[in-house]
């Protein structure tokens, strides 16, 4: 099924919240999935896989801390949503040339929307390099060099984030990012479902505040 | 030529005054309302109307196409009329069948499009549309009036004014979906078209065409019933019918979820008011136009009925306000210096909130040249406020919290009535609901729709942080406050972004949130059915699509005075 970007944003936001992230981080997860879908990349699918992987993992195990210039997490694998938001919060430092290296990171492509949010408004190019493949966010769009499949990998040993003056590479192969496979959409719906309150007699009776009949 | 306002004289009103729910719940439609903006554009650009299809059978079932063609594009309302048994007629968003269902199509639909839409639109949420559709909606008949009008016309008679005014519409919409809903086009994909530059133009266009269809449908059914004896509605009486709408909690969170948009709506209105208040003198023709619209507004208010005690009280106060305004104007001929500001300053203490906010709308009417351009500033790109400034110091964040949420920092949030309500989404209906925190197990599912309470919690949790610490470091430790920090930073940049009231208090009235939004749409005759559900009228007294070219309809919301030639 083809989704509107609005629907992708809303479902992914609710799913991220349902997985245990805070509302603020969930809002950014929704925007990240939407952005990837808009670029023709499987943002919602990657998000679904990430939420499954991290389901039940406490925030404290996922949150990055910096040791000797490298971001690591207590649990051993960084969450790209939490790390991505933290990168955005440090946008000025990164834009001023402070390179960042992330240790082992799950679904690294989910970092791209956050890197774009740093790069685009400042007219910069920012490169994400993982396993020999480089994805560069430029004000004119995305380019990549290396193995496109690596971008979709469930985990990268390291991801380096650098300002690039002369991005090299080719445009990404375009596909329909708004098409969400049924497996992914059912995972997202299941997580979103956790944010819905079970009906009670009181809620059924109150409804949205209307009467039941429209015959007047 | 109008004297130019010296806007250094009068600043826009303080957000702490404007952004209170009781005041926002007293807003009225104005020249800046989206229906008014739409019809001005259709007229100015000479949009042409036609009806490529009206295939409705004698039982009132079939489809029709209503098309408006502008300078570069055409839009078509595809209407499906159904035969709905009375027991299935429900206003609620969760209904599954309606008297009529609609799609606004981008361009002119082919037969294949109509076939596809006929399989999806009648099912509404259970169907699926594409990016060629800009809006999906449905409507139910007013049982009181629909059959009565058919009966009258079939017998060759016009319905009585009083019967028409008692309801005001033949059908009411129960949902008008836009912007990416059910697979429809995302707002971003059409926002660069001039006709959609102002907010909600596609949705308003849809409702405008629905009204034309519904009146045609009634006249068609009267002809079926009465044959040669049947008559059409008298054109002036016909314009007294609007389209009703019934809205509940589903719409309430919108203003909280779109802070920059809310700011831009309110800011446009406040800047318009400040410009008029800054005028050094009043032009005689503007004084005359103000007196005219004031008289028309009286008629408009006289046709506003509600059975809800809160609204009845507000209407009584509003009528008293109009008397007061008459008295003021017999003593002041507005020929002195700064007459509009003098009037305004008087009104701030003399009139109720309903009256003050109606006066804003009335002051706008003669001053289109000072107000209408502001419509172009009312859209918003919420992503502009999305990124958090992590470099901001905690000291600065505290300052913002004091400034915007000062009322919340002084609220005793431990008091049961302060947090009595919970906004949540129900599993059964997937719609926003309000529950009672102290009586239902819903707090776990709370949506972030109480900025005041959350700002106070944030303020409390950062009380021990050093003032020079960056927000970024604190947010890494306290991710639960990320949403609120974002809001606070938005509110610091957009003065009218945040409501300065407790949206989960025991005595909070959701209808205030609904009315705020609906008044910006251009809705009138707010008729609350409970404290969380309101019926309204849209496009009442407006021209019909085929009258845009020939009719002069300035100030159309206010009924023309008896004896005046339109």
Q: Which two tokens stand for residue A147?
A: 């193995």
Write phi, then psi, for B8 (nearest 5 degrees). Answer: -75, -15
Q: Among B196-210, B239-253, B480-494, name the one with the lowest average pLDDT.
A: B239-253
**Section B344-367 average pLDDT:** 98
pLDDT for B144 equals: 84
pLDDT for A208 equals: 67
Q: Among A202-216, B316-330, B429-443, B468-482, name the one with the lowest average pLDDT.
A: A202-216
Q: How far is CA B370 from CA A160, B45, B277, B356, in A?
A: 54, 20, 11, 19
Q: How far is CA B62 from CA A182, B59, B65, in A?
A: 35, 9, 11
Q: Do the Cβ atoms of B300 and B558 come closer than 8 Å?
A: yes
Last residue of a domain, one of B248, B268, B290: B248
Residues whose CB falls within 8 Å of the CB of residue B57, separated by 6 or more in sequence, listed in order: none
For residue B251, give the chain A residue with the closest CA: A208
Last residue of a domain, one of B207, B229, B248: B248
**Section B65-89 average pLDDT:** 92
Q: Among A3-12, B180-189, B257-266, B480-489, name the one with the lowest average pLDDT.
A: B180-189
**What interhelical angle do A43-54 and A5-18 show, nearest 10?**
10
Tell me which chain B residues have a C-beta less than 8 angstroms from the C-beta of A216. 142-144
Cα separation, A76 vs A62, whole angstroms: 8
Question: A-contacting residues of B 447-466, CB under 8 Å?
Answer: 448
Taking the Cβ of residue B82 and every Cβ of chain A, the question of whether any pair is shorter than 8 Å is answered with no
* Residue from the list A3, A25, A212 with its beta carbon closest to the beta carbon of B482: A25
**For the CA atoms of B86, B88, B91, B95, what is the dihedral angle to 10 degrees?**
-170
**DSSP element (H, E) containing B100:** strand B100-106
Neighbours of B456 (CB within 10 A): 22
Residues whose CB falls within 8 Å of the CB of residue A200, separated by 6 or more in sequence, listed in order: B435, B440, B441, B442
Residue B502 placed within a domain: no
Confidence of residue B566 (pLDDT cuts 50, 70, 90): very low
- Pair B51, B107 in one domain: yes
Residue B43 placed within a domain: yes
Q: To the nearest whole number, what is the mean pLDDT of chain A?
A: 92
Q: Do the Cβ atoms of A131 and A157 come closer than 8 Å?
A: yes
Q: Which two tokens stand for residue A112?
A: 């791209």
Q: Which two tokens stand for residue A13?
A: 């936001």
Confidence of residue B85 (pLDDT cuts 50, 70, 90): confident
Tell me which chain B residues have a C-beta less than 8 angstroms from the C-beta of A211. 91, 529
Q: How many angstroms separate the CA of residue B365 from the nearest CA in chain A?
A: 34
The DSSP bridge pattern shows strands B74-81 and A159-163 to be unpaired
Taking the Cβ of residue B529 and every Cβ of chain A, the question of whether any pair is shorter than 8 Å is answered with yes
User: What's the total number of domains in chain B?
Assistant: 3
pLDDT for B136 equals: 96
**DSSP element (H, E) containing B136:** strand B133-141
Q: How many CA atoms does the CB half-sphere of B125 hold within 13 Å?
A: 13
For residue A91, give the chain B residue with the closest CA: B390
pLDDT digits (tens, 9 = 90+) for A56-103: 999 999 999 998 889 999 999 999 999 999 999 999 999 999 999 999
Interface test with B, best of A4, A34, A57, A63 (most B CBs within 10 A): A4
**Section A7-29 average pLDDT:** 98
Residue length of chain B: 566
**Section B329-334 average pLDDT:** 96
Residues whose CB falls within 8 Å of the CB of residue A80, separated by 6 or more in sequence, listed in order: A50, A105, A106, A107, A108, A109, A110, A111, A114
- Pair B268, B391 in one domain: no
Q: 């306002």: which residue's tokens?
A: B5
* Residue from the list A31, A206, A211 with its beta carbon closest to the beta carbon of B386: A31
pLDDT digits (tens, 9 = 90+) for B465-482: 999 999 999 999 999 999
- Pair B208, B303 in one domain: no
Confidence of residue B3 (pLDDT cuts 50, 70, 90): low
User: A67: buried, middle or exposed (CB in 10 Å: 19+, 13-18, 0-12)?
Assistant: exposed
* Residue from the list A28, A193, A203 with its beta carbon closest to the beta carbon of B433: A203
For residue B142, give the chain A residue with the closest CA: A216
pLDDT for A189 equals: 97
Tell me which chain B residues have a C-beta less than 8 angstroms from the C-beta of A206. 433-435
State the residue range of the domain holding B86. Answer: 34-248
Confidence of residue B84 (pLDDT cuts 50, 70, 90): confident
Last residue of a domain, one of B248, B271, B288: B248
Cα separation, A62 vs A73, whole angstroms: 5
pLDDT for B154 equals: 98
Q: How many angstroms separate the CA of residue B126 from the nearest CA in chain A?
A: 14
Q: How many angstroms separate the CA of residue B397 from the nearest CA in chain A?
A: 14
pLDDT digits (tens, 9 = 90+) for A166-194: 888 888 776 778 999 999 999 999 999 99
Taking the Cβ of residue B190 and every Cβ of chain A, the question of whether any pair is shorter than 8 Å is answered with no
For residue A202, give the chain B residue with the closest CA: B440
The DSSP bridge pattern shows strands A70-73 and A100-102 to be parallel
Q: How far is CA B226 from CA B142, B175, B238, B411, B446, in A?
A: 21, 33, 19, 65, 56
Residue B558 placed within a domain: no
Q: How many CA atoms does the CB half-sphere of B187 hold within 13 Å?
A: 16
Contact A24 B485 (CB under 8 A): yes
% chain B with pLDDT above 90: 90
- Pair B350, B429 in one domain: no
pLDDT for B94 equals: 65
Cα separation, B414 vs B437, whole angstroms: 12
Question: In this complex, how many residue pairs, one in chain A and one in chain B, have their CB atoms less than 8 Å apart?
Answer: 171
Confidence of residue B2 (pLDDT cuts 50, 70, 90): low
* Residue from the list A27, A117, A197 with its beta carbon closest to the beta carbon of B424: A197
Residue B54 placed within a domain: yes
- Pair B240, B91 in one domain: yes
pLDDT digits (tens, 9 = 90+) for B107-151: 999 999 999 999 999 999 899 999 999 999 999 999 889 999 999
**For the CA atoms of B34, B36, B42, B43, what is the dihedral angle to 10 degrees?**
-160
* Residue from the list A4, A27, A202 with its beta carbon closest to the beta carbon of B439: A202
**What interhelical angle do B143-154 and B201-226 show, nearest 10?**
50
Q: Is the pLDDT of residue B238 over 80?
A: yes
Tell me which chain B residues have a C-beta less than 8 angstroms from the C-beta of A200. 435, 440-442
- Pair B242, B292 in one domain: no
Q: Among B18-22, B302-306, B327-331, B420-424, name the one with the lowest average pLDDT.
A: B302-306
Residue B503 placed within a domain: no
Tell me which chain A residues have a C-beta less than 8 angstroms from the C-beta of B248. 207-210
Taking the Cβ of residue B46 and every Cβ of chain A, the question of whether any pair is shorter than 8 Å is answered with no
- Pair B228, B154 in one domain: yes
**Section B524-542 average pLDDT:** 95
Cα separation, B129 vs B103, whole angstroms: 9
Q: How many angstroms separate the CA of residue B316 from the nearest CA in chain A?
A: 25
Residue B557 placed within a domain: no
- Pair B214, B320 in one domain: no
Q: How many angstroms separate the CA of residue B509 from the nearest CA in chain A?
A: 11
Q: Which two tokens stand for residue B14?
A: 């303080």
Residue B524 placed within a domain: no
Residues whose CB falls within 8 Å of the CB of residue A211, separated by 6 or more in sequence, listed in order: B91, B529
Taking the Cβ of residue B258 and every Cβ of chain A, the question of whether any pair is shorter than 8 Å is answered with no
Where are any strands of DSSP class E within A86-211? Answer: 100-102, 105-106, 126-130, 133-138, 141-145, 155-156, 159-163, 170-171, 196-197
Q: ∠ at Cα A13 (A43, B396), nearest 5°?
A: 110
Cα separation, B204 vs B191, whole angstroms: 15
- Pair B182, B69 in one domain: yes
User: ipTM beyond 0.85?
Assistant: yes
| Nearest Cα residue to B151 out of B87, B84, B231 | B231
pLDDT for B88 equals: 79
Q: 């990055």: which residue's tokens?
A: A64
Q: Do the Cβ atoms of A202 and B78 come closer than 8 Å?
A: no
Q: Among B9-23, B175-189, B531-545, name the one with the lowest average pLDDT.
A: B175-189
- Pair B365, B473 in one domain: no
- Pair B334, B396 in one domain: no
Q: How many angstroms separate the CA of residue A57 from the nearest CA in chain B?
A: 15
Q: Which two tokens stand for residue B285?
A: 């023709």
Q: How many angstroms separate the CA of residue A194 from the nearest CA in chain B?
A: 8
Q: Is the pLDDT of residue B565 over 50?
A: no
**Section B245-274 average pLDDT:** 95
pLDDT digits (tens, 9 = 90+) for B381-423: 999 999 999 999 999 999 999 999 999 999 999 999 999 999 9
Q: Do the Cβ atoms of B538 and B522 come closer than 8 Å?
A: yes
- Pair B470, B429 in one domain: yes
Contact A89 B471 (CB under 8 A): yes
Q: Is the pLDDT of residue B1 over 70?
A: no
Confidence of residue B95 (pLDDT cuts 50, 70, 90): confident
Contact B472 A90 (CB under 8 A): yes
């Amino acid at each position: 099924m083809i989704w509107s970007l609005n629907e992708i944003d809303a479902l992914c936001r609710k799913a991220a919240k349902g997985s245990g992230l805070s509302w603020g981080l969930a809002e950014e997860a929704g925007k990240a999935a939407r952005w990837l879908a808009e670029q023709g990349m499987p943002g919602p699918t990657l998000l679904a896989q990430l939420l499954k992987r991290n389901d039940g993992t406490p925030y404290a195990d996922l949150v990055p801390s910096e040791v000797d210039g490298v971001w690591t997490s207590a649990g051993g694998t960084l969450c790209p949503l939490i790390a991505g938001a933290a990168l955005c919060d440090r946008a000025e430092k990164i834009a001023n040339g402070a390179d960042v290296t992330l240790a082992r990171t799950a679904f690294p492509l989910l970092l791209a929307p956050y890197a774009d949010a740093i790069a685009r408004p400042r007219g910069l190019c920012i490169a994400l390099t993982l396993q020999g493949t480089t994805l560069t966010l430029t004000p004119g769009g995305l380019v990549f060099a290396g193995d496109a499949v690596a971008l979709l990998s469930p985990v990268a040993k390291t991801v380096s984030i650098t300002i690039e003056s002369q991005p090299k590479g080719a445009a990404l192969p375009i596909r329909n990012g708004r098409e969400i496979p049924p497996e992914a959409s059912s995972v997202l719906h299941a997580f979103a479902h956790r944010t819905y309150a079970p009906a009670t007699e009181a809620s059924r009776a109150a409804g949205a505040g209307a009467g039941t009949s429209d015959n007047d | 030529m109008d004297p130019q306002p010296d806007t250094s004289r009068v600043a826009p009103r303080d957000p702490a005054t404007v952004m209170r729910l009781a005041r926002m719940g007293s807003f009225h439609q104005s020249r800046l309302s989206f229906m008014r903006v739409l019809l001005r554009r259709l007229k100015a650009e000479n949009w042409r109307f036609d009806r490529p299809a009206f295939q409705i059978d004698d039982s009132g079932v079939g489809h029709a196409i209503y098309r408006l063609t502008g300078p570069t594009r055409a839009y078509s309302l595809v209407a499906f009329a159904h035969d709905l048994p009375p027991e299935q007629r429900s206003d609620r968003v969760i209904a599954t069948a309606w008297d009529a269902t609609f799609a606004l199509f981008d361009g002119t639909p082919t037969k294949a499009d109509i076939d596809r839409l006929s399989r999806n639109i009648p099912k509404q949420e259970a169907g699926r549309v594409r990016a060629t559709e800009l809006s999906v909606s449905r409507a139910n008949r007013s049982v009181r009036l629909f059959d009565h009008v058919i009966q009258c016309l079939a017998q060759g008679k016009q319905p009585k004014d009083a019967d028409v005014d008692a309801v005001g519409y033949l059908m009411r919409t129960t949902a008008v979906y836009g912007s990416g809903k059910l697979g429809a086009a995302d707002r971003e994909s059409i926002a660069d078209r001039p006709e959609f530059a102002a907010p909600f133009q596609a949705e308003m266009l849809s409702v405008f065409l629905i009204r034309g269809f519904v009146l045609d449908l009634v006249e068609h059914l009267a002809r079926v019933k009465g044959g040669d004896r049947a008559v059409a509605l008298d054109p002036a009486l016909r314009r007294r019918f609007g389209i009703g709408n019934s809205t509940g909690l589903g719409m309430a969170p919108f203003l909280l979820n779109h802070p920059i948009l809310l700011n831009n709506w309110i800011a446009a209105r406040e800047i318009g008011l400040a410009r008029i208040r800054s005028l050094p003198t009043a032009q005689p023709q503007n004084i005359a136009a103000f007196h005219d619209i004031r008289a028309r507004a009286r008629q408009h208010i006289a046709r506003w009925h509600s059975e809800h005690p809160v609204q009845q009280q507000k209407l009584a106060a509003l009528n008293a306000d109009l008397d007061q305004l008459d008295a003021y104007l017999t003593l002041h001929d507005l020929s002195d210096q700064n007459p509009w500001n003098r009037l305004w300053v008087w009104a701030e203490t003399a009139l109720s909130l309903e009256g003050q906010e109606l006066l804003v709308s009335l002051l706008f009417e003669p001053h289109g040249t000072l107000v209408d351009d502001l419509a172009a500033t009312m859209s918003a790109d919420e992503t502009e406020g999305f990124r958090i400034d992590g470099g901001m110091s905690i000291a600065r964040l505290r300052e913002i919290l004091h400034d915007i949420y000062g009322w919340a920092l002084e609220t005793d949030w431990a008091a049961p009535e302060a947090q009595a309500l919970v906004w949540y989404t129900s599993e059964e209906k997937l719609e926003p609901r309000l529950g009672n925190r102290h009586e239902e197990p819903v707090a776990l599912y709370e949506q972030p729709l109480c900025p005041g309470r959350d700002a106070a919690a944030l303020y409390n949790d950062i009380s021990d942080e050093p003032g020079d610490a960056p927000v970024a470091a604190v947010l890494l430790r306290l991710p639960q406050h990320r949403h609120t920090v974002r809001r606070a930073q938005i509110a610091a940049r957009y003065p009218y972004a945040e409501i300065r009231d407790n949206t989960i208090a025991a005595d909070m009235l959701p209808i205030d949130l609904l009315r705020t939004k609906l008044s910006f749409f251009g809705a009138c005759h707010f008729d609350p059915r409970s404290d969380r559900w309101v019926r309204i009228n849209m496009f009442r007294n407006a021209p019909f699509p085929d009258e845009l070219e020939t009719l002069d309809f300035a100030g159309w919301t206010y009924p023309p005075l008896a004896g005046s030639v339109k």
